[in-house]
């Protein structure tokens, strides 16, 4: 079986790279082919990269809270290039201010993300869920929680 391809990167004007690099190394150790866009990416860059490498999933991160601004039409960017069923994940400190996990998860699921990891400190959870999602397909996007 071929290795699953994952695009990862930091969204918006965020330049925080350490978590991104740790995620890349952990994913590669688990057997994924990782295409790292690094920092300061616009949503359309993620979609274009996913199209170019025929990615199975995309992981977006933000540490400075810009996720809400940059990710509001994220799923649409992928639909625009014909990637309607790609798995989308977002994590880090993705909103400004203090909000409940439930509120942040609902917000980003509304943006079309399959999984939301707001302030998650154990990346093994995200990788384990990615492996499961790749086996079974994405959770229903319309009103069904994705097990966050």
Give me the catalytic one of 13, 14, 133, 136. 14
**3-state SS string for 94-129:** CCCCCCCHHHHHHHHHHCCCCEEEECCCCHHHHHHH
Residue 41 DSSP code? B
Give me the catalytic one of 13, 16, 114, 118. 16
118 part of the active site? no
Using an 8 Å Cβ cutoff, are 89 and 128 in contact?
no
CA atoms of 90 and 8, how far apart (whole Å): 10
CA distances from 48 to 105, 115, 131 (A): 25, 21, 23
Sheet holding 87-92, edge to edge: 33-36, 5-10, 57-62, 87-92, 115-118
73 part of the active site? no
Which amino acids are annotated catalytic? 14, 16
């Amino acid at each position: 079986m071929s290795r699953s391809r994952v695009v990862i990167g930091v969204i918006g004007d965020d330049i925080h790279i350490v978590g991104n690099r740790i995620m890349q190394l952990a994913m590669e150790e688990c057997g994924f082919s990782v295409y790292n866009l690094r920092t300061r990416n616009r949503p359309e860059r993620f979609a274009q990269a996913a199209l170019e490498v025929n990615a199975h999933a995309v992981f977006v991160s933000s540490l400075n809270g810009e996720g809400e601004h940059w990710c509001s039409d994220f799923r649409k960017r992928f639909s625009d290039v014909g990637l309607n069923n790609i798995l989308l994940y977002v994590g880090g400190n993705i909103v400004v201010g203090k909000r409940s996990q439930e509120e942040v998860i609902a917000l980003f699921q509304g943006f079309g993300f399959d999984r939301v990891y707001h302030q998650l400190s154990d990346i093994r959870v995200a990788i384990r869920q990615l492996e499961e999602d790749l086996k079974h397909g994405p959770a229903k996007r319309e009103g069904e929680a994705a097990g966050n």
